[in-house]
Amino acid sequence: MKLKSFFAGTVEAALGLAREELGEEAVLVDSRKAPPEAQHLGQYEVVVAALDPREAEKVSAAGPRSAEGPKQPPEANPLERELAELRRQMERLRAAVWQSGVVARGSAAALPGDREALGTLLEAGLDPPLAHEIAACVEARRVGDPLLGGDSLRVGAGRLPDWRPLLKLELERRIHAEPVLGRPEAALAAAALVGPPGSGKTTTLVKLAVRQGLEKRRPVRIISMDNYRVAGAEPLRTYAAILGVGFRCVDSAAALRQALAEASGKDLVLIDTPGFAPEDAEAAAELAEILRQYPELEVHLTLAATTRNADLTCAVDRFERFRPSKLLFTRLDEATSFGPAFSEAVRTAKPVSFLAGGQRIPEDLEEAGRERLIGLLLG
């Protein structure tokens, strides 16, 4: 993989130069105003990535993955994964370029439908910068901007497409759902729920045990690491006894290792953790260090959908030490807006796994899906 900078009077012109030299497979990595010492080359700089010819041959030799054929293991093609990640970054930067373009032209240049799209997103509670970015891309698609490839919906000469399907298209490109517990490559399906106090981890874990375990006839074992509260594990112990599933309370890395070894014959292991407030940083760091010793564990960050934008962002950043791979949202029945939750899923680029709302077990739990997430956002 090689990186190269191109300079021109506009971002679009610099991208054109890059594609002329490196071809259509060139991936935009960054765009910015040129530094003072390079402005004689052009006002804007874009950094573009492209595979070296030898690497491209390796990726080509690996061949495309068949939709019906067996999946290759994640480590089989690191170059292909790297290129896919760079392409995802390119999509985010394309949107950012268009957002800055709309601001430069002024709000008077926006089309009526694009103002409606922005108003819809802001009313839905989406983070304002993200709402402006998405509305800018809706505008770009309506006028058929070439930077956005072939996704614009053309309706004929002199007519612009309706903004509503384009808004849905933009939202679909940014949100991901993956309602699966455990890492596909791991021999043991094990998931740990982490999150702030009151986010509903324990109740959600019981719902998962019933819905993903007992209803699907998968053997289940529950492990509690909630030793920071007095009798913190007792409610879960009671639930496990009612459900008739294995339960163990552990308080150290060694105890967790033994509990996971005992569960090696099980199909699903669910791990409950205490809720950590900002002042519990030291205890959270200790537990995060323990969980990181087990790469087979998949961490789901459990968050209340009722949390405000700024507080939700702080919580997500605070729990990044646990390296969560998915987000799980609870208290949907109490939330007046799904905008903050949607914004965080987009900002972190983490898939949403499950949605919970209400106290009924297991009825008030559902698998996350792209259509459902967009429906929650737009009402």
Residue 358: its pLDDT value, please? 85
Residue 228: its pLDDT value, please? 61
Query: Is the preceding omega at residue 36 within 30 degrees of 0, hence cis?
Result: no
Residue 53: its pLDDT value, please? 55
Q: Cβ(11)–Cβ(90) under 8 Å?
A: no
- Give CA–CA dist 56/42, Å, rounded: 30
The answer to whether the predicted template modeling score (pTM) of the entire model surpasses 0.75 is no
Q: Smallest Cα–Cα separation from 48: which of 78, 80, 89?
A: 89
Query: Is the preceding omega at residue 362 within 30 degrees of 0, hence cis?
Result: yes
Residue 103: its pLDDT value, please? 43
Q: Please give the single-letter amino acid code of residue 57.
A: E
Residue 109: its pLDDT value, please? 45
- Consecutive H or E run containing 327: strand 326-330
Mean pLDDT, 10 residues at a time, the chain of 379 residues: 77 77 70 73 77 53 43 50 62 53 44 72 91 86 60 51 86 93 81 92 92 83 77 78 86 83 79 91 90 89 93 93 94 93 93 92 92 93
- Give CA–CA dist 367/369, Å, rounded: 6
Structural domains present in the chain: 1-58 (no CATH), 100-174 (no CATH), 190-378 (3.40.50.300)
Residue 312: its pLDDT value, please? 93
Residue with tokens 């981890």: 201
In this structure, what token pair is assigned to residue 84?
Answer: 């896919």
Residue 73: count of CB within 10 angstroms of its CB: 9
Residue 66: its pLDDT value, please? 41
